Structure 1
Amino acid sequence: MFCGFDYGTSNCALGVMKSGVPELLRLEGEHKYLPSTVYAMHRDLITEAVALGLSADQREAYLQARQAILTRARRFRVGEGYESDDTVVFYGREAFSEYYQFPEDGYFVKSPKSFLGGSGLRAEHIAFFEDIVALMMLNVKRRSEVSTGQELTHTVIGRPVNFQGLDAQESNAQALDVLSVAAKRAGFKSVEFQYEPIAAGLDFERNLSKDQTVLVVDIGGGTSDCAMVRMGPSYRDKLDRSEDFLAYTGERVGGNDLDIQLAGRELMPVFGMGAELKTGLPMPTQLYWNAVTTNDVSAQGIFASLDSKVQMEQLRMDMVHPKLMDRFILMREHKHNFHVVRNAEEAKIGLSEQMSYQVKLDYIEPELNVTIERDAFTRAVESPLGKMVRLMKSAIAEAGERPDVIYITGGSAKSPAVQSAIRAEIGDIPVLDGDHFGSVASGLTVWAQRLFG
C-alpha cells in the first residue's frame, strides 16, 4: 500500500487514498497530526528502539554498527531497573507531557528535521539523526498500519526546497540521505520525494475548475517555501509536471523562528533580558537568544556549557534585580527552555484567534504570567516575516509573471500578521487559505498515487 508522508518540522501527518480522495489517518487518539517530538528516558534508548523495530534483513548490520550504543542502553536499563516491556520512549503529545514532568531526567528531541543538512556534522551526529528520524517514522508507520490494517510499502515524503541556507546542494544531499536511510529502516521499500510547496499545490489543484498560475506559499515549522505553478484541469493529470513549475524559492526560516523571536522579545525579559546592571553597561543578550534558539545545536550546546553558567552567576551579582537571573538560572538547570519556546508557539497560535494571550510560567515561579498582545507579536516577528515575504517576491520575479492567486498553507500561515504582510507587500492578488496542517500530506498522497497507484 502506498502513502504520502509529511515528516514535518512541527508535526507529522500521513495520508492514504480512499475512494480516490486523500485521507489523513489519525495518529494519536483523534488527532491527525503528531507533534515531531520524542522523549526517551536515556538518549541511547532511541537507538535501542530502532534496533527493536527493524526487519530481520536489516537488523544484523545495524546491531554491528551500533554495538557500543546498544551496550550502553542495556547497562542503563539494568542500572535503573527497567524491564524489557517498560515504556521508556514517548512520542508526540505524550513526549511533551513527559518532558514537562521530568525535564532534566530524560532526553527530549523536538523538530529534528530542522537540524538535517547542518554543516559541520560529524559521522556520529548524522548516524544519531538517522536513528531519531527512523524511530519517528517507525512510530508513525506502525500507528498508520494499525489504522489501515495493511502494510505501507511505498511512500512519497515531503522535502523543503532547501533544508539549510548555506551550501544548499551539499546540505540537501545530506538531509535527503538521512531521510532515505531512515525511511528504509522504518520498513518502506520504495521512497520518493516531492517538494512541499508542490505537494500543497497538488492538493489545491484537485478542486480548481479553471487553469491558473498559482503562487503556493508553504510556511512550515523550519522552512518557508514558494512555488509558482501553472495549475488546473489542463495540467493535473500529467505525470511530468516539470514544465508547469515556473519557479521555486526556499529558505530556512519558518514557524519555529516566529516562536523563537516571540520567546526572546516577549518572554525573556522576565528572566532578565534587557535588565538594569549596576555598572550601567547593557545586559548581554546572546545568553538569552542561545536559550530560546532551540533549533540550533550549537546554541543549545553553548547554553548548556559551564561558561554560560559562570557568566550567569557573574551577571547576577551585577544586576539591580538579581531575582530575574535566579529565574533564568532555574530555567537552565531544569532544562525548561524548550517549555518556554513551546509556550511562545502556543501564544502564536492563540493570537491567530484573539487579540491577547496570557502565557503561564508557573513551572518557573508560582503565579508568573506574561500577557502578549497581537501587536507585540507582529513587532516581534518582523525580521523572519520579512524574509518570508522576500521569498514570495523572488519566486514571482523568477517566474517573470504575476500569479492569479496566492495559496498559503502551513501552521503559521494562519497568523493574521503573516496574511496582512502578504497582502501589504505582494499587492492586490487574491489570497486563499488551505488546510494549514494537512495540505502537504494530502498532496503527497496524490503524487504517491500517480507514482505507485
Structure 2
Amino acid sequence: MFVGFDYGTSNCAMSFIHQGKAQLIPLYGSEAFVPSALYALERAFIAELVATQIGDDEEKRRYAQSRAALLNQARSGKLEQDISQVSDGIFFGAEAIAQYIAAPGEGYFIKSPKSFLGASGLRPQSVDFFEDLVAAMMLNVKQRAEQYLQQTITQVVIGRPVNFQGINAQESNAQAQRILAAAAQRIGLREVEFLFEPLAAGFDFETRLRENKKVLVVDVGGGTTDCSLVLMGPQHIQQRERSADFLGHTGERIGGNDFDIQLAQTILMPHFGMLSPLKTGLPMPLMPFVNAMAINDIGAQMEFYEANTGHLLARLQRETLEPSLLQRFVRMRDHKHNFAVVRAAELGKIALSTQAQHSFDLDFIEAGLAPRCSAQDYAESSAKLLQKIADLISEVCQQASTAPDLVYITGGSAKSPLIRQLVRDLLGDAIPIVDGDHFGSVAAGLGVWAQRVFG
C-alpha cells in the first residue's frame, strides 16, 4: 500500500487515498498528528528497536555488525531497567515530552531531529545515529497507520523542504535525504519518493481549484520556510510531469522553532540573568544564554553542557550583581530544563497569536516565576526572522518574473497573524490570501502525489 508521509520538524502525519481524496490517518485515537519527539530510557534502545525491523538477513547482519557496541549496551540496559523488550523503554510524541519533563536528567530526549539532518560536518557515527532515530520515529507512525488501515505500507512519498540548511545547501540536502531514505527502507518502506513540501501543500489545494491560477505557496513549518510559485488548476492537475509548472522555489531553515527560540532568548533569558550587570563593569557574556535556547543546534547544545561553560558560570556567579537570576540559569542547566523553557516559549507564541498579553508558566524552574510578554513585544522580537521570510517571498517572485494570482499560506507556524500581515505588506491587498489546513495540507498533498506515483 502507498501513503504520503509528512515527517515534520514539529509534527508527523500520514495520509492515504480514500474514496478518491487524501485523508489523514488517525494515529493516536482521533489525533492525526504526533509531535516529532522521542524519549528513550537508554539511547542504545533505539538501535535495537531498528534492528528488530530489518527483514533482509544480509542487511540485518551488516547492521548488527555496525551497531555491535550499541546492541550490547541495549541488552545490559534492559536488565538495568527491568524490561523484556526495548519498545517498553521508548516513548514518542506527547508521551515522550511528558516523560522528559518528568525526568529530564534520566533518559535520552530529542525533539525535532529533522532540524539536524542536513547539519554540516556530521561524522559517520552521527549519520548512523540519525538514521536510527528517524527510523524509530517513522516506525511508530507506520505501525499505528497500519493498525488503522489493516494493511502493510510499503510505498511512500516523503516531504522535504527546499533546503534543509542555509549553508552548503546542495550537500546538506543530499545528506538529509539519504538519512530519510535509509531510515524509511530500514523499517520496510521498499519504494521511497520525495516531494518538496510547499508543492505538496499546493497539490492538496489544487484539487479545489476550478480555474488556472499562479499560486504562491508559503509554507512556514516548524524548521523551515519554503515558498513556491506554481501554475495550478484544471489544465495542470492531471499532468505527471510538472517541472514546467514550477516557476520558482526558495527555502531556508527558518521556522516555528526559530520563533520559539528567539522569544525565549529575548523575553525569558533576561529573567535568568542574561542582561545582569557584572561587578567588573563588563557586559554579561551572551553565548551561554544563546546556546541554552538553541535546542535545534547540535554544536550549541554540546557547548552549553561542556565543562568550560560550567566553569564560566561559576565565575559569573561570583561577579554578577544579580546572583539570584543567574542561579535560576544554573539550576535550569543542572536539571536540563532548557527544552522545557523553549516549550514554554512555544506555548506563549501560540497564545500571543490570539491575545494581547501572556504570562509564561515557569513553575518548573521556580515557584511563581511567570514573566509577562505582550503581542507587540513578540512582534518586535520576531522582526529579523520575519524579514528573512519576506526576502524568500520576494526572491521567488523575482525568479518567476511574475506576481501571483493568489497566495496559499500553510504550515503550523503560518497561523500567526504576523505572517499574514507580512504577505499583505509585501504584495498588497489586491491579491487574495487563502489559508490551508495549516498542519495537514502537506501530508494530504503527499498522499495525492503518492497516488500519481504508485497508484
Report TM bin, short chain: over 0.9
Letter in 2 for 1:40: A
Shift of 1:201: 0.5
Task: Name the residue aligned to 1:439.
Answer: 441
Shift of 1:427: 2.4
On the 8 A contact 1:393/1:426 being kept in 2, the answer is no
Q: Distance in 2 between matches of 1:346 and 1:53?
A: 36
Deviations, residues 275-329 of structure 1 (Å, cap 9, x unaligned): 1222222111111010000000000000001111111111111111101111101
Question: Residues 118 and 86 from structure 1, CA distance in 2 versus in 1: closer, same or farther, beyond 3 angstroms?
Answer: closer
Shift of 1:11: 0.4
Deviations, residues 396-425 of structure 1 (Å, cap 9, x unaligned): 000000001111101110001121122112
Q: Distance in 2 between matches of 1:83 and 1:213?
A: 56
1:365 and 2:388 are equivalent in the alignment: no
Task: Name the residue aligned to 1:113.
Answer: 114
Task: Name the residue aligned to 2:345.
Answer: 344
On the 8 A contact 1:291/1:300 being kept in 2, the answer is yes
Task: Name the residue aligned to 2:417.
Answer: 416
Q: Secondary structure at the match of 1:97?
A: helix
Shift of 1:78: 2.1
Aligned pairs for 1:38-437 within 5 A: 38-57=38-57, 58-84=59-85, 87-428=88-429, 429-437=431-439
Letter in 1 for 2:171: E
Q: Distance in 1 between matches of 2:119 and 2:53?
A: 27
Q: Tell me, which stretches of 5 or more residues in structure 1 are unaligned?
A: none
Q: Distance in 1 between matches of 2:251 and 2:87?
A: 43
User: Aligned residues, how many?
Assistant: 453
Q: Secondary structure at the match of 1:53?
A: coil
Deviations, residues 27-64 of structure 1 (Å, cap 9, x unaligned): 12321110000000111111111112332544232212
Q: Distance in 2 between matches of 1:444 and 1:332?
A: 40
When structure 1 is superposed on structure 2, of 43-52 and 124-133 the one drifting more is 43-52
Q: Tell me, which stretches of 5 or more residues in structure 2 are unaligned?
A: none
Question: Residues 85 and 332 from structure 1, CA distance in 2 versus in 1: closer, same or farther, beyond 3 angstroms?
Answer: closer
Letter in 1 for 2:187: A
Shift of 1:242: 0.6
On the 8 A contact 2:159/2:194 being kept in 1, the answer is yes
On the 8 A contact 2:5/2:159 being kept in 1, the answer is yes
Q: Secondary structure at the match of 2:372?
A: strand
Q: Distance in 2 between matches of 1:111 and 1:159?
A: 14
Q: Distance in 1 between matches of 2:305 and 2:228?
A: 39
- Quote the sequence identity (%): 50
On the 8 A contact 1:378/1:417 being kept in 2, the answer is yes
Q: Secondary structure at the match of 1:214?
A: strand
On the 8 A contact 2:351/2:358 being kept in 1, the answer is yes
Letter in 2 for 1:233: P
Q: How large is the Cα RMSD of the aligned pairs? A: 1.1
Shift of 1:85: 6.9
The two structures have a TM-score, normalised by structure 1, of: 0.98
Q: Distance in 2 between matches of 1:149 and 1:358?
A: 45
Q: Secondary structure at the match of 1:130?
A: helix
Q: Distance in 2 between matches of 1:86 and 1:409?
A: 34
Runs of 4+ in 1 over 6 A off after TM superposition: none
Letter in 2 for 1:7: Y
Letter in 2 for 1:261: Q
Q: Distance in 2 between matches of 1:82 and 1:413?
A: 42
Deviations, residues 356-393 of structure 1 (Å, cap 9, x unaligned): 22211001111111222111111111111110110011
When structure 1 is superposed on structure 2, of 224-233 and 426-435 the one drifting more is 426-435
Q: Distance in 2 between matches of 1:173 and 1:80?
A: 38
Task: Name the residue aligned to 1:20.
Answer: 20
Task: Name the residue aligned to 2:2.
Answer: 2
On the 8 A contact 1:138/1:187 being kept in 2, the answer is no
Task: Name the residue aligned to 2:37.
Answer: 37
Task: Name the residue aligned to 1:452.
Answer: 454
The two structures have a TM-score, normalised by structure 2, of: 0.98
Q: Distance in 1 between matches of 2:87 and 2:176?
A: 33
Q: Distance in 2 between matches of 1:420 and 1:126?
A: 39
Shift of 1:125: 0.3
Q: Secondary structure at the match of 2:226?
A: strand
On the 8 A contact 2:45/2:86 being kept in 1, the answer is no
Q: Secondary structure at the match of 1:360?
A: coil
Q: Distance in 2 between matches of 1:249 and 1:450?
A: 25
Letter in 2 for 1:120: G
Deviations, residues 1-39 of structure 1 (Å, cap 9, x unaligned): 110000001100000000001110111232111000000
Shift of 1:86: 7.0
Q: Secondary structure at the match of 2:360?
A: strand
